Structures are given as structure tokens and as C-alpha cells.
Chain A
Amino acid sequence: MAHPSQLGFQDAASPIMEELLHFHDHALMIVFLISTLVLYIIVAMVTTKLTNKFILDSQEIEIIWTLLPAIILILIALPSLRILYLMDEINDPHLTIKAMGHQWYWSYEYTDYEDLGFDSYMIPTQDLTPGQFRLLETDHRMVIPVESPIRVLVSAEDVLHSWAVPSLGVKMDAVPGRLNQTAFITSRPGVFYGQCSEICGANHSFMPIVVEAVPLEYFENWSFLMLQDA
């Protein structure tokens, strides 16, 4: 989750998110370079004492300011496409979970071995125990085994929603009548928070997502207990 007054991205909890962070650094550096150059040119043009402003053509600078942007765009596009295809790779998931969006909660179904399904509602602010995070905690978390490839099939039961967990680098729209697939692998254990990312009505801001990555034995215990409760 984000810490107070955080401006940048959350630390990566999956390899894809690490790649995205590096790419963002690369693209942002290019953006800073271009912005600094443009700012310098603007200041120079505003404060100049020269008065001959009516030069109409010059081949050399035209070539430079055509070629240089093309090269910069290629330098941005190549890493970008690399990550795009990396995200699409077949990764032989160990577990498939269905995340269904409702107004206004998520429900998760683990149907690989048994029929495990439960709803995940936000804990209202007045019911929070001290130390819990406002608008982020849910009554049931989506528990997954750490360092295992997970496939999530995202859909919706009523209107559009979007299942997003920033620290895992995952966002997938939940479209009614459509199954969208996304996959990730958590590199470290922990609790990762996200929020619904497609406007879906009055309580769109109040249907968070909590993913808890635990070692396999804990996951097995948890799923056993959840099946008993159901």
C-alpha cells in the first residue's frame, strides 16, 4: 500500500512490476531531458535582445529536429514493447482464481480442486479496529501462495469494474459477460492492497481488493478452514 504523502510508485511485489518501474525511470528521464531543453529554449526566446526573428528556413536544424524525435521514440518504444510481450507470456499457472465484480464488492472463486467461494466487502470506517487502514481493509482477503504463478479471471456480474493491485502491476477490467485473464507471480510474502478502478456507481471508491501472499502450507490451511466455514 502507499505510505502517507507518497508520490511515486509502490515497491514492486512481482517481476513484471519491477520491469515497469525500470521502464518508467527510463521514460521519465527522457521526459525530463526534453522538458529541460524546451524550458531553456522558451526562456532564451523570451529574454533575447536579438530582433531579427524572420528567418524562414534552415535545412540543418530541420533535419535534426526530425531525426532526433524519431530516435527518441524508438528508444522509448523498444523497451515498452518488450514489457508488453513479456506480460503476455504463457506462464503455466499453479492456481486459477475468478474475481467477480459486483456493486459494490468483489467475490473470489477458487474452483480448481474444491468449490471455494466468498465475498470480500470493505470494512466500514466506523467498524475499523485501531491500526487498520481506512477504505482499504476487507473482511476476507484473496489469499494466494507466494512465488507461484497465479491466473486471475476477472469478470463482473452487473456493471463495469476493474481489478487492480498496483504493487503487483496488475489491472484488468471486469466486463459483464466477458472473461478477462491476467497472471502474476508474487516475489515476496505480504499484503497488497488495491482499489476498484472503473467507475461503477455510488460506492465505487469503497470496494477495495486485498491480496495476501503466504507460504504454501499457510495457504493450504486457510483454504481448508474457509471450506469448513462455507
Chain B
Amino acid sequence: MLRQTAVHMRGLLARRASAAVTSSSVRMASHEVSETVDMSRPMYYDRVDVPLPDKPYKDLLTDADKTLKQKEKGPWSQLSKEEKIALYRLMFHQTYPEMKQKTSEWKTVLGGIFFFLGFTGLVVWWQRIYVYPPLPKTFEGDSQAMQLKRMLDMRVNPVQGFSAKWDYEKGQWK
């Protein structure tokens, strides 16, 4: 079994080597199904940054399509505008402007975000009323004022912080 795998690997490596060695322009000029560098199955995709996908859009061609492809092999000046557009649509699904078209997805995303923020707000509000115990008495206004006065008297953070912002001569904040 190992020997079979080795034979397969050599075949794959040979194909990979030939893909690397042959010029890419030669491969793209005959734009039918092309070899992918990472040996994944060829697939069609519309991407702004990769202009030519692995394979054309339409795989199964009707007879009319096939005659059109034959006509494409001749001089292109003999193709009418509709025929050129039809050939483009055989090869590609969307044009560049169609690919770059803006969607309204952002409205859905933003709406979802606000919805969940609002829901969270409701949960927090409910918690405040029904779950949290009362605040300790040190949070009351009088107690806070006395604590602040004591911090100033103790010269807490006198260099740049708290007490540095109090004017001790005038008895007020600077």
C-alpha cells in the first residue's frame, strides 16, 4: 500500500512540477478548466481580487452555446454586441460592478447589535432591582463627604493626584 501511495505521490508531484514550470499566461489563454496550485478541485468564484477563476461559469453548454463558442474562435469583430455579452455570461456569473454592489447587510448587523445591547440593559436593570443587596452606609452622601475631607486632611496623593488639586489656603478645589 505504501508503494501505491508512493506511485500516486510521484504522479501528483510531476503534475505540480509541470504546473509550476509552464508559463501561467499559456494556461490562462486557453481559459477552460485550469490546474490549481494547491491541487484542490477547480471551482468557480466571483472575487474582485482574483479576476480569472479556475473554471468557466457555465459547464454544460447547449448547442446554441457551442456554436457561439465556435464563432468565438474566428475574428471577434464579427461578433455582435449581444453575442459578446452572451459569451461573457457563459464565462462569468457577475460583472465587476455587480460584484462591488453594496448590500443592506450593515443595517441588519447594526440592528442586531442594538437589540442585544438593549436586552442586556433590561437584564441589568432587573438585577439592580431584584438581586443586588443594598449599598453599605459608607456610600451615603454625608459619609462620602467626610471620607473626602479626611483624605484631604491626610494629604492623600499630594504630588499629582487627589490632594494636589485642592487649594489648602483658599479651602476649595483649584
Q: Which of A1-58 contact B (CB under 8 A)?
A: 1, 3, 6, 8, 10-12, 51-53
Residues on A lying within 8 angstroms of B by beta carbon are 1, 3, 6, 8, 10-12, 51-53, 125, 128, 130-134, 167, 188, 190-191
Classify chain B's interface size. 20 to 34
**Other A-B pairs, 18, CB within 8 Å; known A10-B157, A128-B138, A131-B150:** A1-B151, A3-B151, A3-B161, A3-B162, A6-B162, A8-B161, A11-B159, A12-B159, A125-B136, A130-B142, A131-B143, A131-B146, A131-B149, A133-B150, A134-B136, A167-B157, A190-B154, A190-B156
Residues of B within 8 A of A51 (CB): 48-49
Please determine whether A10 and B161 come into contact, CB atoms closer than 8 angstroms.
yes
> Closest residue of chain B to A9, judged by CB?
B161
Interface SS of A by simple majority? loop
Please determine whether B142 and A1 come into contact, CB atoms closer than 8 angstroms.
no
B66, CB-defined interface residue at 8 Å: no
Please determine whether B155 and A190 come into contact, CB atoms closer than 8 angstroms.
yes
Residues of A within 8 A of B137 (CB): 125
Task: Report how far A134 CA is from B143 CA in the complex, Å.
Answer: 11
Q: Which 9 A-B pairs have the closest CB atoms?
A: A131-B146, A51-B49, A3-B162, A11-B157, A11-B159, A134-B138, A131-B150, A130-B146, A11-B161
> Closest residue of chain A to B149, judged by CB?
A131
B108, CB-defined interface residue at 8 Å: no
6 example contacts (A-B, Cβ-Cβ < 8 A) are as follows: A3-B161, A11-B164, A52-B49, A53-B49, A130-B142, A190-B156
Please determine whether B160 and A11 come into contact, CB atoms closer than 8 angstroms.
yes
Please determine whether A6 and B161 come into contact, CB atoms closer than 8 angstroms.
yes
Residues of A within 8 A of B154 (CB): 190-191
